[in-house]
Chains A and B, each alone.
Chain A
Amino acid sequence: MLKGIILAGLLIAAWALVQGMVFRLRPPHKAFASMVAWYAPYVPAYVLLYLLTPPHLGLLSERFARAGHALGFLNGLALLILLFLTGVLFYYHADRSITVRLLIVLARAPQQRLSLDQLQTVCGVDVLMQDRLESMALNRFLVLRDGCYHLAPKGRLAGLGGTMARRLLRLKAL
């Protein structure tokens, strides 16, 4: 099992490095699509590496290299996917968090002070909503028709998930 874990960890570290460079050198128009595109080759790479390398990877003791082949392979593959999704969530934490935006705006303000009006002007709901609507349209959750946004099939599915989650989890929605 450890072999799959190590391979998944190494491949995700490699993907994070490459993706970081992609973001720095050529910021993509669609972040998620870029992450998926750059991640995709790592899945066959994992399969190949798992099949071609010895169970001990040249460094594990016998004790850690005795797990079933299928179990180790599938566990590693699941970890590779989970770690990728965690990486994607990390990106969205850093990119989209409204709270972090507020703090950064305050940190950059003269004397690190802003009135509510100033905060709302610089980082307010109108700026944010326009940004989110455009982003959802760009990512095909919404379609703009006759000056109004409508749900695209992807958005309909997401909306259904959100409705169900809000019924199950009673967080105070906006």
Chain B
Amino acid sequence: MKGLTLAAAAFVLLVLGSALALRVYRGNKEFKVFLSAFAGAVLGYAVAFPLTPPDLGVLPAGWLEPAAPVDFANGLLVLALVFHGFWCFAYFACVSPSMGVMIELRERGERGISAEEALAMHSHEQPMNLIFQRRLPKLVQGGYVREEAGVYRLLPRGGRIAALGAFLKRLINSEVPLAGSRTC
């Protein structure tokens, strides 16, 4: 239970730390903020674990794990799983086009949104729509794709991710459309 308690404390600090850091971060690689916050939380957890008493001064005797390595590893595993969930939720909430539509609909009140209006939210008549505007430059910067005179070419690094992605899609059979409309 000591591991879980410390993991919970580390997670709260991780959320607060990443929220604060994102307010001052001006770059385009937010994942680095999340990973740094996670690294900080793991470090804090690993340092606090051996320095604190087994009962943390508050835990009842029945809630103590006698094997410290199990307690430590369990807390770390839970911290990693909860962080992963938080990271996914943060990206889904802030970046997902689906969430964008739901937030827009909340702001509209009783007024609905047509498919054309939802589409227009991300198009804005620019040469590159907003969904691509966010992702393609990152793929270029990360060395996954190269842009040559307006043509995007896959680099070996991107090819490996594509192969892994295609393998995972085959694994879950997601190339068969679930909603009947998926074309890529």
A and B part of one assembly: yes
Interface residues of chain A, those whose CB is within 8 Å of chain B, are 1-2, 5, 20, 23-24, 27-31, 63-64, 66-68, 70-71, 75, 78-79, 82-83, 85-86, 89, 91-95, 97-107, 109, 111-116, 119-120, 122-136, 138, 141-142, 145-151, 155-156, 158-163, 165-166, 168-174
Known: A1-B71, A86-B81, A134-B180. A149 touches B64 (CB 8 A): no
For A67, give its contact among B65, B85, B103, B139 (CB under 8 Å).
Answer: B65
Contact yes or no, A174 B168, CB < 8 A: no
Contact with A along B149-184 (1 / 0, CB 8 A): 011111000110111011011011110101111111
Contact yes or no, B1 A71, CB < 8 A: yes
Contact yes or no, A99 B99, CB < 8 A: no
Contact yes or no, B152 A147, CB < 8 A: no
A114 contact set on B, CB distance < 8 A: 151-152
**Between-chain CB contacts (< 8 Å), 14 pairs:** A5-B74, A85-B81, A92-B88, A99-B135, A99-B139, A104-B184, A107-B162, A123-B184, A125-B130, A125-B132, A129-B119, A135-B178, A141-B98, A174-B134
Contact yes or no, A100 B161, CB < 8 A: yes
Smallest Cβ-Cβ distance to B138: which chain A residue: A99
B179 contact set on A, CB distance < 8 A: 131, 134-135, 138
The answer for the CA separation of A138 and B180 in the assembled complex, in Å, is 11
| B9: Cβ under 8 A from any A Cβ | no
Min CB distance B85 to A, Å, is 6
B115 contact set on A, CB distance < 8 A: 129-130, 133, 149
B85 contact set on A, CB distance < 8 A: 82, 85-86, 89
State the 6 A-B residue pairs at the shortest beta-carbon distance, nearest first. A148-B112, A165-B93, A171-B94, A100-B165, A94-B168, A159-B102
Known: A125-B130, A151-B106. A106 touches B145 (CB 8 A): yes
Please name 5 further chain A to chain B contacts, defined as beta carbons within 8 Å, in addition to the given A86-B81, A116-B127, A133-B118, sorted by A numbering.
A1-B70, A93-B168, A102-B135, A165-B90, A172-B134
Contact with A along B92-112 (1 / 0, CB 8 A): 111111111111011000111
Contact yes or no, A125 B131, CB < 8 A: yes
For B70, give its contact among A2, A115, A130 (CB under 8 Å).
Answer: A2
For A156, give its contact among B95, B106, B111, B154 (CB under 8 Å).
Answer: B106
For A126, give its contact among B19, B82, B119, B132 (CB under 8 Å).
Answer: B119
- Interface residues in B36-73 by Cβ distance below 8 A to A read 62-67, 70-71
B71 contact set on A, CB distance < 8 A: 1
Contact yes or no, B122 A174, CB < 8 A: yes
A142 contact set on B, CB distance < 8 A: 101-102, 105
The answer for the CA separation of A84 and B28 in the assembled complex, in Å, is 31
B91 contact set on A, CB distance < 8 A: 171
Smallest Cβ-Cβ distance to A78: which chain B residue: B78
Contact yes or no, B181 A134, CB < 8 A: yes
Smallest Cβ-Cβ distance to B89: which chain A residue: A165
Contact yes or no, B93 A128, CB < 8 A: no
A102 contact set on B, CB distance < 8 A: 132, 135-136, 139
